[in-house]
Amino acid sequence: MDELNKENAAAKPSAVLEVKHLSIDYPIAIGTVQAVRDVSFTLADGEVLGIVGESGCGKSTMGLAIMNLLRDPGRIVGGEILYHGKDVVKMSQAELRAMRGRDIAMVFQNPLTSLNPLMKIQDHFIETIKYHKPEMKRPEALKLTGDLLEDLGIDRKRMKEYPHQMSGGMRQRIMIALGLIMKPDVIICDEPTTSLDVIVEAGFVDLLNRLRKTFDLSIILITHNLGLVAEIADRIVVMYGGKVMEDSPSSLIFHKPMHPYAIGLIECVPNIDLDQEKLTTMEGAPPDLVTPPVGCRFAARCPKVFNLCRQEEPPLREFRIGPDRGADGSAPSATVRRCACWLFPEEK
Ligand SMILES: Nc1ncnc2c1ncn2[C@@H]1O[C@H](COP(=O)(O)OP(=O)(O)OP(=O)(O)O)[C@@H](O)[C@H]1O
Ligand code: SF4
Ligand SMILES: [Mg+2]
């Protein structure tokens, strides 16, 4: 590698995960739900990436596809999911089994339904460890479990208890600990705080921040809660109707959103500082994904809609901003944002 390339490689964080032009369908009796369409994004090493959008926009479908765990009748109809350059879509069953939990782990929406009520907490861990490391003896596995639980602020003695004996917040931590036990380098959390109250939710942000440093994790945080991702994510991908509308660093999404849908979502985040009296809600509903509209998928709800929006779909364009923009317009280390809206037809 020459000196210049070495410098560039050092400056650019390497991608752990690259999703490229991913499309996912659910064929059902009345047609095909086009749940995810041409979605691309990158998760850099050590990055926290938030994926946000209203219910039904394809967030969980995306998360499950990354683990190659789509539920019936879901199927990937196009694109690639590259984990350290290797396509998850093309992995054999054996490769997938080895990857899940060990390389990429997923924490699901509801911890109570994900934990077996008849199994002690410790046995959930033993089962996972046995699956990936059958050679590990039980005392060693129990020690590993106890150490990890303590790292997450849970007394190790409690691993002998059953899920129903734990509070909601603790069950959440246990689910995360289960995800972390094989030391994966990516963890996908799907609506991790839906079942938690606000105080426990605040603790979750601290926990995730601590874990990302301690465990050297890259995290995908899937949520409809933009306030939550704002506190922890480096980048945010905003999805609507199965497509990416905007992908920007989180501070920019909050202070200078580009896409009208991102603007609408931000207006719906309660803002204590502004002493907002009532929470704004966005009028209308997301499009039907069996017969998605022609043109921009957000057109029916967009306050800035104009003729072209209903005729042609805006492409997801890349915009580079930053202090070190070159004279020719190129800026290798500039911040990259992407936005799919005709209001931003080309880079300014
Ligand atoms: N098993 C399934 N069969 C048929 N359609 C499905 C299935 N699972 C999801 N869908 C559809 O795919 C689309 C995307 O759903 P998905 O669950 O990925 O959305 P989401 O963004 O995670 O929503 P939520 O915020 O409610 O969890 C929706 O239109 C949904 O109805
Ligand atoms: S393309 Fe048109 S309808 Fe779509 S978000 Fe932009 S302005 Fe609104
Ligand atoms: Mg979901």
The total number of residues shown for the chain amounts to 348
Ligand 2: atom nearest CA of 299 is 3
* Residue of 23, 36, 37, 60 to test ligand 1 pocket, by largest number of atoms within 8 Å of CB: 60
Residues with CB under 5 A from ligand 3 (ion): 60
Burial class (CB in 10 A: 0-12, 13-18, 19+), 5: exposed
- pLDDT (0 to 100) of residue 40: 97
Question: 40: how many CB neighbours lie within 10 A of its CB?
Answer: 16
**pLDDT band at residue 6 under the 50/70/90 scheme:** very low
Give yes or no for a cis peptide into 73 (omega within 30° of 0). yes
What's the gap in Å between 55 CA and the centre of ligand 1? 8
- What average pLDDT score do residues 157-172 get? 90
Residue whose CA is at the smallest distance from ligand 1 atom 25: 55
Ligand 2: atom nearest CA of 303 is 8
Q: Which residues line ligand 2 (CB under 6 A)?
A: 259-260, 296, 298-299, 302, 304-305, 309, 314, 341-343
- pLDDT (0 to 100) of residue 9: 43
Give percent of the chain above pLDDT 70.
85
Segment among 75-84, 91-100, 129-138, 327-336 with least mean pLDDT: 327-336
- What average pLDDT score do residues 84-101 get? 94
* Residue of 246, 282, 313, 341 to test ligand 2 pocket, by largest number of atoms within 8 Å of CB: 341
Residues 48 and 186: their CA atoms lie apart, in Å, by: 10
Who's near 297: CB < 8 A, 6+ residues apart?
A: 240, 241, 242, 243, 287, 313
Residues 69 and 75: their CA atoms lie apart, in Å, by: 10
Which domains, ranges and CATH numbers included, belong to the chain? Answer: 15-118+162-339 (3.40.50.300)
- What average pLDDT score do residues 267-291 get? 74
DSSP element (H, E) containing 253:
helix 250-255
Which is higher by pLDDT, 104 or 202? Answer: 104
- pLDDT (0 to 100) of residue 215: 84
Return the DSSP state at 324: T
The angle that helices 138-151 and 121-132 make with each other, rounded to 10 degrees, is 120
Instruction: Using only the alpha carbons of the chain, give its radius of gyration.
Output: 21
What's the gap in Å between 56 CA and the centre of ligand 1? 5
Q: Which residues line ligand 1 (CB under 6 A)?
A: 26, 28, 33, 35, 53, 55-61, 71, 74, 224, 289
Residue 126 has pLDDT above 70, yes or no: yes
| pLDDT one-digit tens code per residue, 287-335 | 999 999 999 999 999 999 999 999 999 999 999 876 554 445 554 456 8
| pLDDT one-digit tens code per residue, 206-249 | 888 888 888 889 999 998 888 888 888 999 999 999 999 999 99
Tell me the torsion sign for CA atoms 212, 223, 313, 69.
Answer: positive
**pLDDT band at residue 75 under the 50/70/90 scheme:** very high
C-beta of residue 57 within 8 angstroms of C-beta of residue 240 = yes
Segment among 195-209, 264-278, 285-299 with least mean pLDDT: 264-278
- pLDDT (0 to 100) of residue 156: 95
C-beta of residue 13 within 8 angstroms of C-beta of residue 214 = no
- What average pLDDT score do residues 140-159 get? 93
Label the pairing between strands 317-321 and 335-339.
antiparallel
